[in-house]
Amino acid sequence: AGGGAGLSPERRAALGASLPLVQRDYRFERVWFWGCIQGVRGAYYIAQGLGPDRAAPRSRLYSLNCLDWSLLTPATKEMLALAEQVKGRFQGDPSFEYNLAEINAEAAARLIEGGKEPVIKEEARLIATIEQIDRAVGIVPRGAFVKTPLGSVHENRHFEGLSLVEAKKLSSYFHFTEPVNLKNKTLLEKADLDPSTDFLDSLEHDIPRGSWSIQLEKGGSVVVLRSLLWLGLTFYHVPRTKQFGYVYFGTGEKNLDLPFML
């Protein structure tokens, strides 16, 4: 609510009733409410289903009314590439088709050569956008998850939250996705890292620099991080407790003007 977005009491009640049923029906270990992508004619409410291994690909579902949920297919490289061609607001209709011939003639020509229609459905764009947001700005506090010697990732039972001093630093937060920068670090840089907790990329090296805003709210009792690259992504953490999470309320459009705004 601090970011000027939220759910009405009716939507909250609907989520409280429908998400436990989703967890039961799909046999998820946990279900997270991921957020909402606002379209021109309607909104998509997104939830994520998690299994025992938190680093495994997550199941994603969407709903138009917070009651009836539909499972989304996993994002593919082709889907991500096509979705990047589409600009502008979502319509709010999963069956709406974008004509690629009007957007990018080259991409449309490649699809026609491959025997496919030069269109992309809004549902595919939705899948790709959720994947992009999760990869770019889905974050967790340092130490909240541990990696076992077998490679699976689990919640750290000994995590008691960051101290207030640590919570104010960008280096205390990690991208909860496959690391990229970590692989490029030298052995000397890796020497101080704990392989069980420091197995993800830190936010301090994010490009462009300044793409995160850190604020203290409720008299300094809650640390809030907001992404300036994907406007609408808000992460919160209550220092010295296990409470943290993020939610996205936005239009599903990347802020491409950010480098000029910093």
Claim to verify: residue 210 and residue 119 sit in the same structural domain: no
Q: 162 near 171, Cβ under 8 Å?
A: no
Q: Report pLDDT digits (tens) over 123-153.
A: 998 999 999 888 888 888 888 888 887 777 8
Residue at 4 is within a domain: no
Residue from 78, 29, 36, 79 nearest 56 by CA:
29
Claim to verify: residue 151 and residue 255 sit in the same structural domain: yes
Claim to verify: residue 118 and residue 47 sit in the same structural domain: no
Claim to verify: residue 198 and residue 98 sit in the same structural domain: no
**Sign of the alpha-carbon torsion through 256, 71, 69, 1:** negative
How long is the chain? 262
Which SS3 state, helix, strand or coil, does residue 97 take?
Answer: strand
- Say which residues have a Cβ less than 8 Å from residue 254's Cβ, sequence separation at least 6: 132, 229, 230
Q: What integer pLDDT is reported at residue 185 of this predicted model?
A: 59
d(CA 182, CA 55): 16
Q: Give residue 43's domain range.
A: 9-72
- Say which residues have a Cβ less than 8 Å from residue 15's Cβ, sequence separation at least 6: 7, 33, 45, 66
Residue at 1 is within a domain: no
Residue at 132 is within a domain: no
Q: Which tokens belong to 135?
A: 């990869």
Q: What integer pLDDT is reported at residue 21 of this predicted model?
A: 92
- Proportion of the chain above pLDDT 70, given as a percent: 87
Q: What integer pLDDT is reported at residue 181 of this predicted model?
A: 60
Overall average pLDDT of the 30-37 stretch: 90
Q: 215 near 233, Cβ under 8 Å?
A: no
Q: How many separate domains does the chain show? A: 3
d(CA 107, CA 121): 15
Residue at 146 is within a domain: yes
Provide φ and ψ at 85, rounded to 5°: -75, -25
Q: Which tokens belong to 211?
A: 């793409």
Of the pLDDT bands very low, low, confident and very high (cuts 50, 70, 90), residue 13 is: very high
Residue at 2 is within a domain: no
Q: What integer pLDDT is reported at residue 107 of this predicted model?
A: 67
